[in-house]
């Protein structure tokens, strides 16, 4: 079979990231400061390097990928595009299913695509220390890897309950040389105050963000790194969609539908935005963001100005949100448990250029198991959300007889998530839909994007 | 940098495995039956398909890889060959270090190279069920993956203590559809008898092998699969060395030393045997098998006829052995805890064509951490043994000023082994050298290969 795997040469690793900000039909609403006025670059310079702030604000269409970043990319890029022949057969669908596999990176997911770039720019501007927060540890391990590549000290504030219950991701970060602190920690004033209030607190992501930002802002040699949501993060992830587009060009095929899971939005944006160029050129292509039923930011949230963190330390971002106090239930796709969404993804969704769908947890695991048995690769629970929707599309094609081309990104492998599969097989996982009334209450206080 | 990653095209995935049996300076001693006489193919036909028995006995130099096997290989092959520039810099060595990365397979190690082939041949001969044993689960998960690819029912007998303590590998096998039994189980007469003797037994690999073989031999639709040691298993793994050799040819370089870790011997044999062709052609190349100090089969064992299992069910194999009753301490490189070694590897070692070195556990983890921080990929504890010796070679080059070319196989990633790294960082791991007197006692009863 000729199109089992569509490969690019090393020279075909993208030389530039694609900045969708250059091609927006209407401009993005700006982020706002605590005073309600748009913030400028200076508000970010305490915690981000100039190069990333420029990317965050840029409307230049193509932004060059530095060679040292491309050199690290070569450890796992170009990432393969696979035709899912066996899955098609298992589903008896006339659809053609393709997937881009991002699990080959040393951290096992797409996250290093931006972590490596962020570490590089910080190192170039003389920064020696990077701070970040992590929940389950996916982002923390990616920035730990990137820090090791560019000789930066990485300090990760890991939510205490995860620090205690998930030692494996912590060990991974430590193997790459990162310092990992159980948050709240004694390292920061915020952490010390929290510990004084409640020595037994399990911690929270909001608190960990506060600690990481305080740590970065308090020292001139330190900056902060974020794993999703922001424009420059989504920008770096466009290597996924750009490579996929080049791979489809190679076989003279273009997808009818592009699917990716969506938490903070960088995997979805990175996958889908390059295909918006085709849509702008008049080609019919559907772009579908998949989120969990239990954290339905795009499908049930409100397009509003909200903080990125529960502690209200970040600027107000124009985004779909369930409210910064929203606490999703403990679903097993930790990477999709975020109350907000990338402002770029939110803007495009608001404009009707992309679609969103929410899926229940059990159906995603069922899809992941079907995929693993057919195709071999064992997906992360986050990726199972995209697989669920790809399978549903393929089954609709079976009904209708259409031979659509379906494409999704398999954002990571599930080798760190076997405890979740274990619970799934043991019948211990549940579907959880957040009550509509609770969502309405959470949204009531948000200021709409005008 | 031009040689960060040396890639092959899909067409360059080997079309044939290399059978070293065709090029042995003296023939292999035969395996012996319980009566002390050489066994024939018929003795194996109850548990192996004809195609694999033929490969086991073959002296044909090149054996074609079936296209359906190559199609599955394409999920992760050709595997990349990397130049370890950052590690060289970290060591300040004039040596050039290259490594072949086999951790990109869906199971995370080199094991699927043979699992996929074994599943294919069994399916071709009408087999519907495959049985095997597994300790920590690396082999069990690879055969579960392969069974899913060829629609075989896979039944894995997993040593009870691992079944209870390592649920993640079990979940992985179940995700691929395998049936996993805690061994001893009620599925077999052997298992029931063992449970009757001691309902609380933790189980053993020897017992699990007995169960898997009994299960396979008792049904016409079932066969047994083994993950290392045997000739056909090593044969399948030669895709590693053949690809590496083609990659070195591409850049006009050949290694001065080839290094791989050695448990049952398939990773080492698969890596090194193709380079024996160069050695036979007069090119100077050292081939080094690395084993743990705590299970020093080649370096301290005896070249003798011994059983492959502790229950003495297998034929007597001519191999270096520490005695089939040898119980290595609980080192964290589970894949290297085997009392014997591949008869092919043993024969070549006996002839002086390959070298062996034993290394202590702590030094291997230290090497793995150095590697991860320099190169990004986080290695399995087994692979750390090869890295240790590669680093030691590179440091010797630093002393001598020689610019040797060092090559090793990185047989798998360590994403399932973070508990071991965790214990390493916590100072809970120890070096363990098996007392010489105990080894002498264990070897006393073995019948030497004449």
A194 within a domain of the structure (yes/no) = no
Q: How many helices (H) and strands (E) does chain A have?
A: 17, 16
B36 has pLDDT over 80:
yes
What residues of A are in contact with residue B106 (Cβ under 8 Å)? Answer: 372, 376-378, 413
Q: A261-270, A333-342, B389-398: which has the minimum mean pLDDT? A: A333-342
What mean pLDDT, rounded, does chain A reach? 93
Tell me, what's the pLDDT at B1?
61
All residues of chain A having their beta carbon less than 8 Å from the beta carbon of residue B377 are: 75, 106
- The pLDDT-based confidence of A293 (bands split at 50, 70, 90) is very high
Question: What's the structural domain count of chain B?
Answer: 1
* Residue B275 predicted with pLDDT over 90: yes
**Any idea what the CATH number is for the domain that residue B344 is in?**
3.40.50.1100
pLDDT at B24 over 90: yes
Residue B206 has what pLDDT? 80
B12 touches chain A (CB under 8 A): no
Q: Which strand ranges, in their side-by-side order, compose the sheet holding B286-292?
A: B5-6, B81-83, B96-101, B405-410, B257-261, B286-292, B355-359
Residue A57 lies in a domain: no
The DSSP 8-state label assigned to residue B353 in this structure reads S
Q: For residue B380, what pLDDT is reported?
A: 95
Tell me the average pLDDT across B108-118: 97
The residues, any chain, with a CB within 8 Å of residue B229's CB and separated by 6 or more, are B264, B265, B266, B308, B317, B319, B338, B340, B341, B342, B343
Residue B245: Cβ within 10 Å count: 22
The nearest CA of chain A is from the CA of B258 a distance in Å of 22
At A1, the pLDDT band (50, 70, 90 cuts) reads low
The pLDDT value given to residue A279:
85
pLDDT digits (tens, 9 = 90+) for B130-189: 999 998 788 999 999 999 999 999 999 998 988 887 788 899 999 999 999 999 999 999
Residue A212 lies in a domain: no
* Most confident segment among A161-175, A288-302, A304-318, B27-41: A288-302
Residues 6+ apart with CB under 8 A from A282: none
* Residue B432 domain flag: yes
Read off the pLDDT of residues B412-426 as tens digits, 9 standing for 90 and up. 999 999 989 999 999
Q: Which of these ranges, A54-63, A125-134, B27-36, B383-392, has the smallest mean pLDDT?
A: B27-36
Residues in chain B closer than 8 A to A372 (CB atoms): 106, 148, 175-176
Within-domain flag for A312 = yes
CB contact under 8 A, A175 and B373: yes
- How high is the mean pLDDT of chain B? 94
So what's the pLDDT on residue B2?
A: 67
On chain A, the residues whose CB falls within 8 A of the CB of B368 are 175
Q: Per residue in A339-356, is it b (16+ CB within 10 Å) or e — as a string?
A: bbbbbbbbbbbbeebbbb
Residue B396 has pLDDT above 80, yes or no: yes
Pick A104's closest partner by Cβ from B82, B104, B177: B104
A169 domain-assigned: no
Cis check for the bond before B78: say yes or no (omega within 30 of 0): yes
The neighbour count for residue A327, using CB atoms within 10 Å, is 16
Return the pLDDT at A164: 85
Query: Complex ipTM, two decimals?
Result: 0.95
Window 158-187 of B: residues touching A by CB (8 A cutoff) are 167-172, 174-177
In sequence order, the β-bridge partners of residue B25 are: none
Task: Give pLDDT tens digits for A201-260.
Answer: 888 888 898 899 999 999 999 999 999 999 999 999 999 999 999 999 999 999 999 999
**Is residue A308 in some structural domain?**
yes
- pLDDT at site A329: 72
Asked if A415 and B415 come within 8 Å (Cβ–Cβ), the reply is: yes
| B82 and chain A in contact, CB less than 8 A | yes
Residue with structure tokens 């604000």?
Answer: A57
Least confident window among A83-92, B130-139, B230-239, B243-252: B130-139
Q: Kindly report, residue by residue over B311-367, the tens digit of the pLDDT.
A: 787 899 999 999 988 877 777 777 888 889 999 999 999 999 999 999 999 999 999
| pLDDT score at A2 | 67
Q: How far apart are CA B134 and CA B163, in angstroms?
A: 9
B429 interfaces chain A, CB cutoff of 8 Å: no
Is residue B400 scored above 90 in pLDDT?
yes
Domain residue limits at A424:
67-108+232-448
Return the HEC string of A197-211.
HCCCCCCCHHHHHHH
């Amino acid at each position: 079979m000729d199109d089992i795997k569509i490969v690019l040469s090393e020279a075909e690793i993208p030389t530039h990231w694609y900045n969708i900000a250059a091609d927006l039909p209407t401009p993005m609403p700006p982020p706002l400061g605590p005073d309600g006025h748009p913030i400028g670059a200076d508000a970010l310079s305490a915690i981000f390097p100039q190069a990333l702030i420029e990317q965050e604000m840029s409307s230049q269409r193509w932004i060059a990928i530095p060679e040292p970043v491309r050199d690290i990319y070569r450890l796992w890029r170009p990432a393969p595009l696979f035709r899912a022949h066996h899955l098609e057969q298992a589903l008896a669908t006339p659809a053609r299913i393709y997937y881009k596999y991002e699990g080959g990176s040393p951290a096992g997911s797409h996250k290093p695509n931006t972590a490596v770039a962020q570490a590089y720019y910080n190192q170039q501007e003389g920064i020696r220390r990077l701070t970040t927060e992590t929940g389950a540890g996916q982002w923390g391990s990616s920035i730990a890897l990137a820090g090791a590549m560019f000789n930066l000290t990485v300090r990760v504030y890991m939510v205490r309950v995860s620090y205690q219950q998930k030692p494996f991701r912590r060990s991974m970060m430590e193997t790459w040389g990162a310092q990992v602190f159980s948050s709240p920690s004694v390292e920061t004033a915020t952490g010390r105050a929290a510990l004084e209030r409640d020595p037994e607190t399990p911690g929270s992501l909001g608190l960990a963000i506060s600690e990481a930002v305080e740590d970065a802002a308090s020292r001139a040699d330190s900056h902060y790194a974020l794993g999703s949501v922001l424009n420059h993060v989504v920008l770096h992830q466009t290597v996924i969609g750009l490579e996929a587009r080049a791979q489809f060009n190679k076989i003279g095929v273009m997808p009818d539908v592009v699917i990716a899971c969506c938490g903070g939005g960088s995997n979805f944006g990175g996958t889908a935005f390059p295909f918006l160029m085709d849509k702008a050129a008049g080609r019919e292509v559907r772009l579908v963001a998949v989120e969990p039923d239990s954290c339905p930011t795009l499908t049930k949230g409100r397009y509003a100005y909200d903080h990125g963190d529960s502690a209200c330390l970040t600027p107000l971002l124009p985004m779909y949100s369930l409210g910064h106090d929203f606490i999703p239930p403990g679903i097993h796709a930790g990477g999709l448990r975020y109350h907000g969404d990338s402002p770029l993804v939110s803007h495009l969704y608001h404009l009707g250029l992309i679609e969103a769908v929410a899926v229940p947890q059990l159906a995603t695991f069922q899809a992941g198991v079907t995929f693993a048995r057919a195709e071999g690769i064992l997906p992360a629970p986050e990726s199972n959300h995209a697989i669920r929707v790809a399978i549903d599309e393929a089954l609709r094609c079976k009904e209708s007889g259409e031979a659509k081309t379906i494409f999704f990104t398999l954002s990571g492998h599930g080798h760190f998530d076997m405890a979740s599969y274990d619970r799934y097989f043991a019948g211990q996982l549940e579907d959880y839909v957040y009550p509509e009334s609770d969502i309405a209450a959470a949204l009531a206080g948000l200021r709409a994007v005008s």
